[in-house]
Structure 1
Amino acid sequence: MAGEPQADCLFCKIVAGEVPATVVRETETTFAFRDINPQAPTHVLVIPRAHYPDAVALAVAEPAVAADVLTVAGQIAEEEKVAGTGYRIVFNTGAGAGQTVFHAHAHVLAGRGLAWPPG
């Protein structure tokens, strides 16, 4: 069921403390940690504690939590000292877009040139 932890979800296991992660920030509704395969000098994942398969499902079910994810992403950019030079917040939705863990998450990327379009 949406919102409930999923036994086979890597990010649910990270939130539960069953899988280690380098934690950057925790709030009542979000959990942020460094990506284990960083694509930029700053690469932090911000996830809702509740399980939703993607950003749209999260926004439909819990718009306030979706806003919390974005707020925390901005706070992390400030803390990482990249807010002034620019950063990217990316939500991949679906396997065809590169989503590999089907738990909503935002990538906060910065610290190198991030040309558009990506890829």
Structure 2
Amino acid sequence: MSSLDDEVWPAYLERTRELAGQLLHADDPYDVGLQLMGDTIEVIITGEYEYAVSMYNLWGDLTDRMELKPAEGDLAKAEMVRAAREWLALDCRDSDAVKRYFDHWLHDILHHDRS
């Protein structure tokens, strides 16, 4: 990692935690989910970060559910809150824990292909 990477990634992780905290108290978590996606796109553009694409896919799927399946809106909101709560409970510096978090959400819950 370059010195830029040393600055960007910790700031991004802190931002994800800040947004996850906001989402827990938001009237509509959808907007905060979109903000998580937007902030993640900016990080992906600046370089390759191991879990940024997973973060983007997670929040993309959760917000898409609100858009594409409005009848499941309440369930989608509850899932967003659960994903945010679990992210906040996680030590983001523990790579194994982060991997387990994304494996669980992307594969077990959102049914992404493991390949």
TM more than 0.5: no
- Pick the structure with more helix per residue: 2
